[in-house]
Amino acid sequence: MALTEFSIIERYFAQPAAMRDPDVVLGIGDDAALLHVPEGMELAVATDTLVEGVHFSPHTKPGDIGYKALAVNLSDMAAMGAEPRWATLALTLPQADESWLADFSAGFFALASEYRIQLIGGDTTRGPLSITVQILGLVPAGTALRRSGAHAGDLIYVTGTLGDAGLGLRVLQQPLELSAQHAAHVMQRLNRPQPRVTEGIALRGIASAAIDVSDGLGADLGHILQASGAGARINLSTLPLSAAVADYVNHSGDWCMPLCAGDDYELCFTVPAQKCSALLDAMKSSPTGCTHIGVIEAAPGLRCISASGELITPRAGGYQHFSSDE
Protein backbone atom coordinates (compact mmCIF):
# COMPACT_ATOMS: atom_id res chain seq x y z
CA MET A 1 0.00 0.00 0.00
CA ALA A 2 1.44 3.35 -0.99
CA LEU A 3 -0.79 4.97 1.61
CA THR A 4 -0.42 3.98 5.23
CA GLU A 5 -3.41 3.38 7.46
CA PHE A 6 -2.70 6.72 9.18
CA SER A 7 -2.40 8.75 5.99
CA ILE A 8 -5.71 7.24 4.78
CA ILE A 9 -7.41 8.40 7.97
CA GLU A 10 -5.81 11.84 7.88
CA ARG A 11 -6.46 12.42 4.18
CA TYR A 12 -9.95 10.99 3.79
CA PHE A 13 -11.62 10.74 7.18
CA ALA A 14 -10.60 13.78 9.23
CA GLN A 15 -13.47 16.28 9.31
CA PRO A 16 -12.95 20.05 9.18
CA ALA A 17 -12.78 21.84 12.52
CA ALA A 18 -16.13 23.53 11.74
CA MET A 19 -17.82 20.17 12.21
CA ARG A 20 -16.51 19.77 15.79
CA ASP A 21 -19.22 19.08 18.28
CA PRO A 22 -18.88 20.31 21.90
CA ASP A 23 -20.18 16.95 23.19
CA VAL A 24 -17.19 15.18 21.60
CA VAL A 25 -14.64 15.34 24.43
CA LEU A 26 -12.11 13.40 22.32
CA GLY A 27 -12.44 12.39 18.65
CA ILE A 28 -10.24 10.51 16.16
CA GLY A 29 -6.64 9.87 17.23
CA ASP A 30 -6.63 8.11 20.58
CA ASP A 31 -7.52 4.53 21.53
CA ALA A 32 -11.16 5.49 22.05
CA ALA A 33 -13.36 8.52 21.57
CA LEU A 34 -14.96 10.21 24.57
CA LEU A 35 -18.51 11.54 24.40
CA HIS A 36 -20.53 13.68 26.76
CA VAL A 37 -24.11 12.47 27.11
CA PRO A 38 -26.24 15.45 28.23
CA GLU A 39 -28.37 15.11 31.38
CA GLY A 40 -31.78 13.57 30.76
CA MET A 41 -30.80 11.95 27.46
CA GLU A 42 -30.33 8.28 26.58
CA LEU A 43 -27.61 7.11 24.19
CA ALA A 44 -29.01 5.16 21.20
CA VAL A 45 -26.45 2.88 19.50
CA ALA A 46 -26.79 0.83 16.31
CA THR A 47 -24.47 -0.71 13.74
CA ASP A 48 -24.85 -2.02 10.20
CA THR A 49 -22.39 -3.65 7.82
CA LEU A 50 -22.32 -3.54 4.02
CA VAL A 51 -20.40 -6.38 2.34
CA GLU A 52 -19.49 -6.31 -1.34
CA GLY A 53 -21.41 -8.99 -3.24
CA VAL A 54 -24.04 -9.23 -0.49
CA HIS A 55 -25.31 -5.69 0.10
CA PHE A 56 -24.00 -4.02 -3.04
CA SER A 57 -22.64 -5.22 -6.38
CA PRO A 58 -18.98 -4.78 -7.35
CA HIS A 59 -20.23 -2.20 -9.90
CA THR A 60 -21.68 0.14 -7.27
CA LYS A 61 -20.05 3.58 -7.30
CA PRO A 62 -17.84 4.20 -4.24
CA GLY A 63 -19.70 7.49 -3.53
CA ASP A 64 -22.97 5.56 -3.32
CA ILE A 65 -21.39 2.95 -1.02
CA GLY A 66 -20.10 5.67 1.34
CA TYR A 67 -23.48 7.41 1.35
CA LYS A 68 -25.48 4.24 1.89
CA ALA A 69 -23.21 2.87 4.65
CA LEU A 70 -24.17 5.92 6.72
CA ALA A 71 -27.78 6.18 5.45
CA VAL A 72 -28.77 2.69 6.64
CA ASN A 73 -27.44 3.52 10.09
CA LEU A 74 -29.24 6.90 10.20
CA SER A 75 -32.38 4.97 9.33
CA ASP A 76 -31.97 2.87 12.50
CA MET A 77 -31.80 6.10 14.54
CA ALA A 78 -34.93 7.35 12.72
CA ALA A 79 -36.77 4.16 13.65
CA MET A 80 -35.96 4.79 17.33
CA GLY A 81 -36.92 8.47 17.20
CA ALA A 82 -33.31 9.28 18.12
CA GLU A 83 -31.24 12.21 16.87
CA PRO A 84 -28.09 10.79 15.23
CA ARG A 85 -24.92 12.58 16.40
CA TRP A 86 -21.74 10.52 16.03
CA ALA A 87 -20.44 7.65 13.90
CA THR A 88 -17.52 5.23 13.80
CA LEU A 89 -16.34 3.64 10.55
CA ALA A 90 -14.64 0.24 10.26
CA LEU A 91 -13.32 -0.05 6.74
CA THR A 92 -11.85 -3.24 5.26
CA LEU A 93 -10.29 -2.58 1.85
CA PRO A 94 -8.65 -4.93 -0.65
CA GLN A 95 -6.22 -2.12 -1.54
CA ALA A 96 -5.66 1.59 -0.82
CA ASP A 97 -7.13 2.98 -4.06
CA GLU A 98 -6.96 6.77 -3.77
CA SER A 99 -9.73 7.60 -6.21
CA TRP A 100 -12.01 4.99 -4.59
CA LEU A 101 -11.25 6.45 -1.13
CA ALA A 102 -11.86 10.04 -2.29
CA ASP A 103 -15.26 9.14 -3.80
CA PHE A 104 -16.26 6.91 -0.88
CA SER A 105 -15.44 9.60 1.67
CA ALA A 106 -17.22 12.29 -0.41
CA GLY A 107 -20.40 10.16 -0.40
CA PHE A 108 -20.11 9.45 3.32
CA PHE A 109 -19.48 13.08 4.30
CA ALA A 110 -22.17 14.47 1.97
CA LEU A 111 -24.75 12.76 4.19
CA ALA A 112 -22.76 13.27 7.42
CA SER A 113 -22.73 17.05 6.90
CA GLU A 114 -26.43 17.13 5.99
CA TYR A 115 -27.20 15.67 9.44
CA ARG A 116 -24.21 17.23 11.27
CA ILE A 117 -22.82 13.80 12.19
CA GLN A 118 -19.26 13.80 13.50
CA LEU A 119 -17.01 10.83 12.66
CA ILE A 120 -15.30 10.03 15.98
CA GLY A 121 -13.23 6.93 15.18
CA GLY A 122 -13.02 3.65 13.39
CA ASP A 123 -10.67 0.99 12.13
CA THR A 124 -8.90 0.48 8.81
CA THR A 125 -7.81 -2.97 7.69
CA ARG A 126 -6.95 -4.86 4.52
CA GLY A 127 -9.24 -7.64 3.26
CA PRO A 128 -12.36 -8.20 1.14
CA LEU A 129 -14.35 -4.95 0.82
CA SER A 130 -16.64 -4.46 3.80
CA ILE A 131 -17.88 -1.34 5.57
CA THR A 132 -19.23 -1.22 9.09
CA VAL A 133 -20.66 1.99 10.48
CA GLN A 134 -21.71 2.38 14.07
CA ILE A 135 -24.06 5.24 14.80
CA LEU A 136 -24.65 6.91 18.13
CA GLY A 137 -27.52 9.24 18.84
CA LEU A 138 -29.48 10.89 21.62
CA VAL A 139 -33.09 10.60 22.65
CA PRO A 140 -34.80 12.20 25.67
CA ALA A 141 -34.98 9.50 28.37
CA GLY A 142 -38.04 7.28 28.05
CA THR A 143 -39.20 8.62 24.66
CA ALA A 144 -37.50 6.23 22.19
CA LEU A 145 -39.79 4.44 19.73
CA ARG A 146 -39.72 0.66 20.09
CA ARG A 147 -41.09 -2.30 18.14
CA SER A 148 -43.10 -3.58 21.08
CA GLY A 149 -45.82 -0.99 21.74
CA ALA A 150 -48.50 -1.73 19.10
CA HIS A 151 -52.03 -2.54 20.33
CA ALA A 152 -55.15 -3.85 18.57
CA GLY A 153 -56.94 -0.89 16.97
CA ASP A 154 -53.77 1.15 16.34
CA LEU A 155 -53.49 2.39 12.76
CA ILE A 156 -50.49 1.36 10.63
CA TYR A 157 -48.61 3.92 8.53
CA VAL A 158 -45.56 4.05 6.28
CA THR A 159 -43.55 7.05 5.15
CA GLY A 160 -42.69 7.66 1.48
CA THR A 161 -43.22 4.86 -1.06
CA LEU A 162 -42.51 1.11 -1.05
CA GLY A 163 -40.77 -1.21 -3.52
CA ASP A 164 -38.61 1.38 -5.29
CA ALA A 165 -35.25 0.00 -4.13
CA GLY A 166 -36.41 -3.55 -4.90
CA LEU A 167 -37.33 -2.51 -8.42
CA GLY A 168 -33.92 -0.80 -8.73
CA LEU A 169 -32.23 -4.08 -7.79
CA ARG A 170 -34.40 -5.95 -10.32
CA VAL A 171 -33.32 -3.49 -13.05
CA LEU A 172 -29.68 -4.36 -12.27
CA GLN A 173 -30.38 -8.09 -12.42
CA GLN A 174 -32.51 -8.41 -15.56
CA PRO A 175 -33.69 -6.23 -18.44
CA LEU A 176 -37.04 -4.60 -17.65
CA GLU A 177 -39.22 -2.33 -19.72
CA LEU A 178 -38.93 0.83 -17.69
CA SER A 179 -38.86 4.45 -18.88
CA ALA A 180 -35.54 6.24 -18.41
CA GLN A 181 -37.20 8.50 -15.84
CA HIS A 182 -38.58 5.58 -13.79
CA ALA A 183 -35.26 3.73 -14.02
CA ALA A 184 -33.40 6.81 -12.74
CA HIS A 185 -35.87 7.16 -9.87
CA VAL A 186 -35.57 3.55 -8.67
CA MET A 187 -31.76 3.54 -8.98
CA GLN A 188 -31.56 6.72 -6.91
CA ARG A 189 -33.79 5.09 -4.28
CA LEU A 190 -31.58 1.97 -4.23
CA ASN A 191 -28.26 3.80 -4.10
CA ARG A 192 -29.08 6.92 -2.08
CA PRO A 193 -31.93 6.13 0.34
CA GLN A 194 -33.16 9.12 2.35
CA PRO A 195 -33.21 8.23 6.05
CA ARG A 196 -36.44 9.50 7.67
CA VAL A 197 -34.68 11.08 10.65
CA THR A 198 -36.91 14.16 10.97
CA GLU A 199 -40.05 12.05 10.70
CA GLY A 200 -38.77 9.60 13.37
CA ILE A 201 -38.08 12.43 15.81
CA ALA A 202 -41.53 13.95 15.08
CA LEU A 203 -43.15 10.60 15.96
CA ARG A 204 -41.94 10.66 19.60
CA GLY A 205 -44.98 10.65 21.88
CA ILE A 206 -47.26 9.76 18.93
CA ALA A 207 -46.24 6.36 17.49
CA SER A 208 -46.87 3.31 19.68
CA ALA A 209 -44.31 1.22 17.72
CA ALA A 210 -41.89 1.84 14.85
CA ILE A 211 -39.34 0.07 12.62
CA ASP A 212 -37.46 0.98 9.46
CA VAL A 213 -38.23 -1.04 6.33
CA SER A 214 -34.88 -2.61 5.48
CA ASP A 215 -35.94 -6.21 4.78
CA GLY A 216 -39.39 -5.59 3.25
CA LEU A 217 -42.71 -4.35 4.66
CA GLY A 218 -44.05 -7.85 5.39
CA ALA A 219 -40.94 -8.90 7.31
CA ASP A 220 -40.45 -5.62 9.17
CA LEU A 221 -44.09 -5.12 10.10
CA GLY A 222 -43.87 -8.78 11.18
CA HIS A 223 -41.17 -7.75 13.69
CA ILE A 224 -43.51 -5.13 15.18
CA LEU A 225 -46.31 -7.74 15.38
CA GLN A 226 -44.07 -10.29 17.05
CA ALA A 227 -42.60 -7.82 19.55
CA SER A 228 -46.06 -6.44 20.32
CA GLY A 229 -47.86 -9.83 20.47
CA ALA A 230 -50.41 -8.73 17.88
CA GLY A 231 -51.51 -9.24 14.25
CA ALA A 232 -52.44 -6.87 11.42
CA ARG A 233 -54.54 -6.36 8.34
CA ILE A 234 -53.24 -4.21 5.52
CA ASN A 235 -55.00 -3.11 2.33
CA LEU A 236 -52.82 -3.49 -0.76
CA SER A 237 -54.77 -0.79 -2.63
CA THR A 238 -53.61 1.76 -0.03
CA LEU A 239 -49.86 0.97 -0.24
CA PRO A 240 -48.01 4.14 -1.31
CA LEU A 241 -46.33 3.39 -4.67
CA SER A 242 -44.20 5.58 -6.91
CA ALA A 243 -45.32 5.80 -10.55
CA ALA A 244 -42.50 3.37 -11.44
CA VAL A 245 -43.60 0.68 -8.96
CA ALA A 246 -47.33 1.25 -9.67
CA ASP A 247 -46.67 0.65 -13.42
CA TYR A 248 -44.60 -2.42 -12.63
CA VAL A 249 -47.27 -3.91 -10.34
CA ASN A 250 -50.05 -3.15 -12.86
CA HIS A 251 -48.17 -4.97 -15.63
CA SER A 252 -46.76 -7.88 -13.64
CA GLY A 253 -49.29 -8.34 -10.83
CA ASP A 254 -46.23 -8.81 -8.60
CA TRP A 255 -47.28 -7.41 -5.21
CA CYS A 256 -44.18 -8.90 -3.70
CA MET A 257 -42.19 -5.89 -4.96
CA PRO A 258 -43.81 -3.40 -2.52
CA LEU A 259 -44.56 -6.06 0.12
CA CYS A 260 -41.38 -8.15 0.33
CA ALA A 261 -38.52 -6.21 -1.30
CA GLY A 262 -36.10 -4.55 1.10
CA ASP A 263 -33.78 -1.54 1.11
CA ASP A 264 -36.42 1.25 0.99
CA TYR A 265 -35.52 2.58 4.47
CA GLU A 266 -38.96 4.07 4.99
CA LEU A 267 -40.51 4.00 8.47
CA CYS A 268 -43.41 1.69 9.31
CA PHE A 269 -45.17 2.72 12.51
CA THR A 270 -48.39 2.37 14.46
CA VAL A 271 -50.49 5.16 16.00
CA PRO A 272 -53.38 4.89 18.49
CA ALA A 273 -56.57 6.27 16.89
CA GLN A 274 -56.79 9.18 19.35
CA LYS A 275 -53.33 10.43 18.26
CA CYS A 276 -54.08 10.58 14.53
CA SER A 277 -54.68 14.34 14.49
CA ALA A 278 -51.39 14.87 16.36
CA LEU A 279 -49.79 12.71 13.64
CA LEU A 280 -51.18 14.95 10.90
CA ASP A 281 -49.65 17.99 12.62
CA ALA A 282 -46.32 16.23 13.19
CA MET A 283 -46.04 15.21 9.53
CA LYS A 284 -47.04 18.61 8.08
CA SER A 285 -43.47 19.61 7.30
CA SER A 286 -42.38 16.19 6.00
CA PRO A 287 -41.74 16.28 2.24
CA THR A 288 -42.68 12.60 1.88
CA GLY A 289 -45.48 12.43 4.46
CA CYS A 290 -47.03 9.13 5.52
CA THR A 291 -49.85 6.88 4.37
CA HIS A 292 -52.37 4.85 6.39
CA ILE A 293 -52.11 1.23 5.16
CA GLY A 294 -53.91 -0.90 7.73
CA VAL A 295 -54.77 -1.68 11.32
CA ILE A 296 -53.35 -3.72 14.20
CA GLU A 297 -55.57 -6.64 15.24
CA ALA A 298 -55.50 -8.97 18.24
CA ALA A 299 -55.31 -12.19 16.13
CA PRO A 300 -51.66 -12.99 15.30
CA GLY A 301 -50.45 -12.97 11.68
CA LEU A 302 -50.36 -10.51 8.79
CA ARG A 303 -53.42 -10.40 6.51
CA CYS A 304 -53.06 -8.58 3.18
CA ILE A 305 -56.35 -7.69 1.47
CA SER A 306 -56.40 -7.04 -2.30
CA ALA A 307 -58.48 -4.30 -3.96
CA SER A 308 -61.15 -6.92 -4.73
CA GLY A 309 -61.27 -8.03 -1.08
CA GLU A 310 -59.26 -11.25 -1.53
CA LEU A 311 -56.85 -12.39 1.18
CA ILE A 312 -53.31 -12.55 -0.23
CA THR A 313 -50.40 -14.29 1.46
CA PRO A 314 -47.12 -12.90 0.13
CA ARG A 315 -44.08 -15.17 -0.19
CA ALA A 316 -42.52 -15.66 3.27
CA GLY A 317 -41.01 -12.34 3.76
CA GLY A 318 -37.85 -10.40 3.63
CA TYR A 319 -34.22 -11.09 2.99
CA GLN A 320 -32.60 -13.18 5.69
CA HIS A 321 -28.92 -14.00 5.96
CA PHE A 322 -28.25 -17.63 6.99
CA SER A 323 -31.82 -18.78 6.20
CA SER A 324 -31.96 -22.48 5.27
CA ASP A 325 -33.31 -21.85 1.74
CA GLU A 326 -30.37 -19.64 0.63
Q: Of these partners, Mg ion, ligand ADP, none, which one is at the site of residue 119 (CB under 5 to 8 Å by kind)?
A: ligand ADP
Instruction: Kindly tell me which residue out of 31, 177, 310, 325 binds ligand ADP, with binding defined by CB under 6 A.
Output: 31
Choose the contact partner of 28 out of Mg ion, ligand ADP, none; CB within 5 to 8 A by kind: ligand ADP
Question: Which of the stretches 116-124, 139-147, 270-278, 280-288 binds Mg ion when contact is defined by CB under 5 A?
Answer: 116-124
228 binds ligand ADP (CB under 6 A): no
Report in angstroms the alpha-carbon separations of 303 from 36, 48, 296, 311: 46, 30, 10, 7
- Output the CA–CA distances (angstroms, integers) from residue 234 to 92, 200, 275, in the order listed: 41, 21, 19
Give the closest residue to 225 by CA, choosing from 109, 147, 142. 147
Comparison of 32 and 311: residue with beta carbon closer to Mg ion: 32
Question: Where would I find the H helices in 94-196?
Answer: 98-114, 164-173, 180-191
Contacts of 222 (CB under 8 A, 6+ apart): 302, 317, 318
CA–CA dist 70, 108 (Å, integer): 6
Q: Considering the rule CB under 6 A, would residue 91 count as an interface residue with ligand ADP?
A: yes
- Site membership for ligand ADP, residue 163 (CB under 6 A): no
Q: Shortest distance, CB of residue 316 to ligand ADP, whole angstroms?
A: 37
Among 123, 237, 313, 315, binds Mg ion (CB under 5 A): 123
Beta carbon nearer to ligand ADP, 72 or 202: 72
Q: Which of 103, 102, 67 is nearest to 87 (CA)?
A: 67
Q: Cα 157 to chain center, whole Å?
A: 16
Which of 84, 122, 200, 231: binder of ligand ADP (CB under 6 A)?
Answer: 122
Single-letter amino acid, residue 284: K
Q: Decide whether 66 or 163 has the Cβ nearer to ligand ADP.
A: 66
- Do residues 74 and 212 touch, judged by C-beta distance below 8 A? no
Q: Measured from the CB atom, is 122 or 163 closer to Mg ion?
A: 122
**Phi then psi dihedrals of residue 305, to 5 deg:** -105, 125
Contacts with ligand ADP: how many residues (CB under 6 A)? 13
With CB cut-offs between 5 and 8 Å by kind, which of ligand ADP, Mg ion, none does residue 56 bind? none
Q: Which of 46, 119, 139, 217 binds ligand ADP (CB under 6 A)?
A: 119
Given the rule CB under 5 A, which residues bind Mg ion? Answer: 123
